Structure 1
Amino acid sequence: MEANAVAASTGAQGTVAAGALAGATERWVSTGGVQLCVAELGDRERPTVVLVHGFPDSKEVWSEVAKRLADRFHVVLYDLRGCGRSSAPKPLRGGYTLEKLTDDFLAVADAVSPDAPVHLVGHDWGSVQGWEFATVGRTEGRIASFTTMSGPCLDHLGIWLHKRATRPTPRRVGQLFGQGIKSWYVYAFHTPVVPEALWRGPLAKAWPALLSRVEKTPARGEPGGDYPTSSLPTDGARGVWMYRDNVRARLRRPRTDAYAHVPVQLIHPTGDVFVSEQVFDDLDQWAPQLTRRSLVAKHWAPRTRPDQISAWIAEFVTTVEDGTPARKPRATSQYAERFGGQLVLVTGAASGIGRATAFAFAEAGARVVAVDRDAEGAARTAEMSRLIGAPEAWSEQVDVSDGLAMEKLANKVADTHGVVDVLVNNAGIGVSGAFMDTSPEHWQQVLDVNLWGVIHGCRTFGKQMADRGQGGHIVNTASAAAFQPTRMLPAYATSKAAVLMLSECLRAELAGKGIGVSAICPGIVNTNITTTTRFVGVDREEEQRRRTRSTRLYGKRNYPPEKVADAILRAVARNQAVVPVTPEARGAHLLSRFAPKALRALARLEPKG
């Protein structure tokens, strides 16, 4: 720290007995006439991650993220001056400048990690401050990396605004007005007295319910619902001085040397109603070592998506600590920005379309859960997914036709990895033969896997998506047989037609919750389904002959499952309803809509033996 930095001292330590950070070690750091309340979790011998909160928050906004990071890092959270349990400057005016907030950060960093730089993570105003910390000279050597969420650098923003105001184009004017509308509250906070009165009165009372309703944060009584804390009225009333002391001054006279001297990870919630993604258009010039992430979430992502955020922080910090370049989303995948870091679960992932789909999501940087009855096959898929690009991948063995097992799987995944963002119900089996030759047992088997497996997946994982309130997507693998009748596939075609209609019904029901549903309808795809298909009504020798013949036919057609996987990612990215894959599937789909009699005539043809 430079000679002009404010001297700091550390007070007594204790253990937090209850609340969102129960079990954390708590201490006080004195700096610049204020006492900062600092909480620590994890092993102090490990790399230190400092989480800085925003407005009108306290350090508890980070509690769920902190708990997930504590097993790998030394995690530090502190209440900003005047927030939570920290004392406020006197007077408030002039007490919240970025220069003084930088003093506070350096005092905390020196107290919790005197011999090593810390990894900084900021959200909202914690991110605004973080940009100051990561770009001023006096913090060089004290910060190892910076992860920013929902808070631009005021200097970068000032230059961004000036460029659009002085050199307007239709696009730039639109961006200017768009961000201006999103920043309505900034103007309101510059009015005297009124914001403080609102925060100390009706606004603070309504805030928890408002957050729960609009942002879908956990409500009181739910896991993670112990936020906001009781300090909210004073947090909001005092915190408005961060806006008054900094915004106008920096936007009018932005620093032109605000270059980051550390690697930066930008996490942008796509549903953020306060910060437009466009304000980060020129960020690469300010942060030469930049990693961009997009997260399907709203502004308070640390409360609604702690699983995703903690995974990205851990990956980024680890790469910086190891001295390797931060792994950016793979340029080879056009879907990296869309799916990077999302949690994707694929059933039937041990082979074929399921395995190809898991690999495609892995290449896009998604975290993958590979599910199959074949435990070894699922494990191989998970292992390969990690090698391809998935930051994390796991395997689970389950029979999708077992409803209780699927419920247990959904709860396990949610508890361990978080709520699934994309569910791919792909597991399926084949049964071929005339209706009169298909036994009730065969009907039961194909419906249990092909239909009930999809129902179980949609019920368990879909409910979790809906309850989370942050959207998601469900993909159900149907088939061209869903709309193409055939005399030799009555059981299989019936199950897939049911999946198609189920998908359409769910799409209508879940649209209001931001959850998309897509039905993927492949035609003849070169997978191993023919080697496991049951051919009924014939003896074993004939069954094996037909199986061999079908496998040879699928091999000659040689339509790779990777193309189906690409169609699945495209369907999710575009929120497509029904996606026929392969030329024959698209042709059958068109005939089913415009010339159904032709399809019925084709269905009467008896296949050659």
Structure 2
Amino acid sequence: MLEGARERRVRTGGVELCVAELGDPRRPTVVLVHGYPDSKEVWSEVAARLAGRFHVVLYDVRGHGRSSAPSPLRGGFTLEKLTDDFLAVADAVSPDRPVHLVGHDWGSVQSWEFVTVKRTEGRIASFTSMSGPSLDHFGHWINKRLRRPTPRRVGQLLGQGAKSWYVYLLHTPVLPELAWRGPLGKRWPGILERVEKVPGGDYPTASLPSDAAHGAWLYRDNVRPRLRRPREDAYAHAPVQLITPLGDAFLSERLYDGLELWAPRLTRRTLPAKHWVPRTRPDRLADWITEFVTATEDGRSETAANGKYADRFGGQLVLVTGAGSGIGRATAFAFAEAGARVVAVDRDAEAAARTAELSRLIGARAAWAEAVDVSDEQAMEKLAARVAAEYGVVDVLVNNAGIGLSGSFFDTTPEDWKKVLDVNLWGVIHGCRLFGRQMAERGQGGHIVNTASAAAFQPSRVLPAYGTSKAAVLMLSECLRAELADRGIGVTAICPGLVNTNITSTAHFAGVDAEEEKRRQQRTARLYGARNYPPEKVADAVLEAVVRNRAVVPVTPEARGAHLMSRFAPRMLRRLARVKPPL
């Protein structure tokens, strides 16, 4: 039983359902429906996070957990009977108000039935679906591709057919029951932990073998009849939030193409995770469910964000260092347009505050400013603790703060070296160590973006210190990417190239007097201005790199060219490095 839950029994259709409740019954009711081969405990982490805001209800589907099984099993798991069960639970726990429905896997499959049949109209306020399509929509999706086949559509059919291998096995008589009550049932927890990265502990419960054996009838009673004759009126009569795990081994993203036809009030979300997101991403799910339910209760659209990646970053917490100007500010704005919550960090408090203010206007769910020097270890430690306590664990960290330094090796003083390494390298190290550790300890993935430079792989006789600092950032990123991969945390090194920002006007030129340094700053600023590559394009590359989990991203054409040369023509690149730039 879930800790702190109130349990009751609901009788319906010859079975007795075990229902658990958490939170205040006077608040909006959220009903969580589990999938196969789970029981209601799959939701324990999500339910605990929702209970402070809502009346949370979980129940074991008939034949699962502590609910009784129908007799006989054949014909006892039809979608019509599952709908009867849902209505009985809803009437028992929230007789006077519609409930907010959340389903995962087969819990989502049956919930699509609940939200599209006439007899449930008025009983469902909203529906959040994850990892489980409507069988009716799936049937129409298949028929459309069979009637008008194209190479792409045939590929989609074959791809989903391969992902659905287990469905065929579950239709075989007796074999699934024997497997689940035998070796598969014993090994399943280890399989989930190894393949799906599902944390161990009190899940799955001891009832797994019988749950899985009974649940095979979910497939046998419903899949073939509905795919052969899908309903023509399967339109959702409540707002729908679709959460799609991008690494789902069982369901293709393409399966939800055209879903807006069936669910006109649709909000899409994507998540870089595998199938069992209620166990691996409970924080993110709880946040999205809370936002969606709250928006529905308030009678408004769930999100006003309209950025390119709003489905991916909406509501996520993103921290950007060096956010007061240039690439950092553009990156903060890009995440804001995608509906993220943004923490703008810069040593210039006024510039950070301006970035946060504009981010809120652009579309950020929320935005805050923090004035911190990233080279200050203690200040960064305080920042990390404050952000975690007040805003939560960062989902995306962008270590962007940096300074420029030009001059020959012998003109570069130890003080110059210390300053550039403190900001460009140690600032990145502090961010990765502090915020990356929080991500790792949370155990729900994340992404780190470190701003390196084309100078990381393009040697130059006038950039020894700067190039060294950025090359170190590049290698640090590669090492971290390898170490954090099995924790679901991606790491990207962004290498911009010549970008029109104010770093050129503030760069230090070693070995010259103040007047000559100012002249070179102005000349370099004019050069970069004439190149006129906007920081917004780098920001777009940052977001795309996170979405696609890319390792190294040279951004500008010259950066991409230098990167290719470093791999395939390094001698030529070394010769170019000898060229003395005009002063």
Same fold (TM over 0.5): yes
Shift of 1:317: 1.8
RMSD over equivalenced CA pairs, Å: 3.4
Of 380-389 and 301-310, deviating more is 380-389
Q: Which consecutive unaligned segments of at least 5 residues does structure 2 have?
A: none
Q: Aligned in 2, Cα 1:230/1:70: closer, same or farther, shift over 3 Å?
A: same
The offset of 1:138, in angstroms, is 0.8
Compared CA separation, residues 597 and 132, structure 1 to 2 (3 A): closer
User: Does the residue aligned with 2:365 lie in a helix, a strand or coil?
Assistant: coil
Q: 1:158 to 1:558 in 2, by over 3 A?
A: closer
The answer for the alignment partner of 1:100 in structure 2 is 81
Contact 2:305 2:364 (C-alpha < 8 Å) held by counterparts: no
SS of the residue 1:323 aligns to: coil
Q: Write out per-residue CA displacement over residues 100-140 of structure 1, whole angstroms, 9 at most, x where no aligned residue.
A: 21122112212222222111111111111111110111111
CA distance in 1, matches of 2:436, 2:305: 27
Please point out which of 350, 357, 360 is paired with 2:331: 357
Amino acid at match of 1:143: I
Task: Quickly say closer, same or farther: Cα 1:59–1:396, change in 2 above 3 A.
Answer: farther
CA separation in 2, counterparts of 1:127 and 1:542?
Answer: 68
Q: Which residue of 1 aligns with 2:189?
A: 208
* 2: CA distance, partners of 1:137 / 1:92: 26
Q: How far 1:343 sits from its partner (Å)?
A: 4.4
1:346 maps to which of 309, 320, 331: 320
Match of residue 244 from structure 1: 220
> Which of 258, 274, 279 pairs up with 1:282?
258
- Give the residue type in structure 2 aligned to 1:32: G
Give 1:545 shift. Answer: 7.1
Q: Which residue of 2 aligns with 1:370?
A: 344
8 Å CA contact 2:78, 2:218 repeated in 1: yes
* Distance change in 2, residues 1:199/1:478 (3 Å): same
Cα distance change of structure 1 residues 601 and 196 upon mapping to structure 2, 3 Å threshold: closer
Matching of residues 32-181 of structure 1 within 5 Å: 32-181=13-162
Find the aligned partners of 2:209 and 2:468 in 1 and give their Cα distance: 59
Paired residue for 2:236? 260
Shift of the 31–380 alpha-carbon distance from structure 1 to 2, 3 Å rule, reads farther
The code of the aligned residue for 1:491 comes to: A
C-alpha contact 1:216 1:469 (8 A) present in aligned 2: no
User: Taking every aligned residue pair, what percent have the same amino acid on both sides?
Assistant: 76
Cα deviation, residue 444, structure 1 = 1.8
Other structure's SS at 1:49 match: strand
Secondary structure of the structure 1 residue equivalent to 2:242: strand
Q: Is the 8 A contact 2:31 2:100 kept in 1?
A: yes
Asked if the contact 1:291/1:328 (under 8 Å) is kept, the reply is no
Cα displacement (A) at 1:543: 6.2
Structure 1 residue aligned with 2:294, among 305, 318, 336? 318
2:431 maps to 1:454: no
Counterpart code for 2:68: S
- Mark the CA change 1:271 to 1:409 in structure 2 (over 3 Å): closer, same or farther: farther
Instruction: Name the CA shift for 1:467/1:477 in 2 (closer, same or farther; >3 Å).
Output: same
Residue 102 of structure 2: SS of its match in structure 1?
strand
Distance 1:256 1:30, change over 3 A: same
Structure 1 position 274, deviation (Å): 1.2
1:153 Cα offset (Å): 1.0
CA distance in 2, matches of 1:160, 1:587: 43
1:270 maps to a residue whose letter is: L
Deviations 1:53-106 (A, max 9, x none): 111112221222223323332222222222222233333333222122112211
1:602 counterpart SS class: coil
In 1, distance between residues paired with 2:564 and 2:181? Answer: 62
Q: Structure 1 residues 329, 150: CA separation in 2 closer, same or farther (over 3 Å shift)? A: farther
Q: Given the superposition, is the C-alpha separation of residues 28 and 570 from structure 1 closer, same or farther in structure 2, using an over 3 Å criterion?
A: same
Shift of 1:530: 5.1
Q: 1:514 to 1:91 in 2, by over 3 A?
A: same
Cα pair distance change 1:151/1:529, threshold 3 Å = same
C-alpha distance in 2 between matches for 1:412 and 1:274: 40
Cα separation, 2, equivalents of 1:529 and 1:142:
58
Q: What corresponds to 2:403 in structure 1?
A: 429
Match of 1:295? 271
Could you tell me which residue of structure 1 aligns to residue 541 of structure 2?
Answer: 567
Go from structure 1 to structure 2 and tell me whether the alpha carbon gap of 1:512 and 1:36 turns closer, same or farther (over 3 Å shift).
closer
- Which residue type is aligned with residue 371 of structure 1? V
Determine the C-alpha separation between the residues in 2 that align with 1:233 and 1:574: 37
| Residue in structure 2 matched with residue 596 of structure 1 by the alignment | 573
Distance 1:380 1:55 in 2: 49
State the one-letter code of the partner of 1:125: W
What is aligned with 1:479?
453
The AA in structure 2 aligned to 1:348 is G
Does the 8 Å CA contact 2:562/2:573 hold for their aligned counterparts? no
What secondary structure sits across from 1:135 in the alignment?
Answer: coil
Tell me how far 1:173 sits from its aligned partner.
2.5
- In the superposition, relative to structure 1, how do residues 79 and 374 fare at CA in structure 2: closer, same or farther (>3 Å)? farther
**Which residue, 358, 379, 387 being the options, matches 1:384?**
358
Task: Flag the 1:385–1:215 CA change in 2: closer, same or farther, 3 A.
Answer: farther
Rounded to whole Å, the distance in 2 between the matches of 1:493 and 1:558 is: 22
**Distance in structure 2 (CA, Å) of the matches to 1:35 and 1:464:** 43
CA distance in 1, matches of 2:43, 2:387: 22
**Residue type of the partner of 1:390?**
A
Residue 217 of structure 2 aligns to a residue whose secondary structure is helix
Moved more, 149-158 or 479-488: 479-488
TM-score, normalised via structure 2 length: 0.87
Deviations 1:503-529 (CA, angstroms, capped at 9, x unpaired): 455556667877654433334544343
Q: Is the 8 A contact 2:461 2:577 kept in 1?
A: no
- Calculate the TM-score normalised by the size of structure 1: 0.84
In the alignment, is the contact (CA less than 8 A) between 2:412 and 2:510 conserved in 1?
A: yes
Q: Does 1:232 align with 2:213?
A: no
- Residue 426 of structure 1: CA displacement? 0.6
Q: Does 1:445 align with 2:416?
A: no
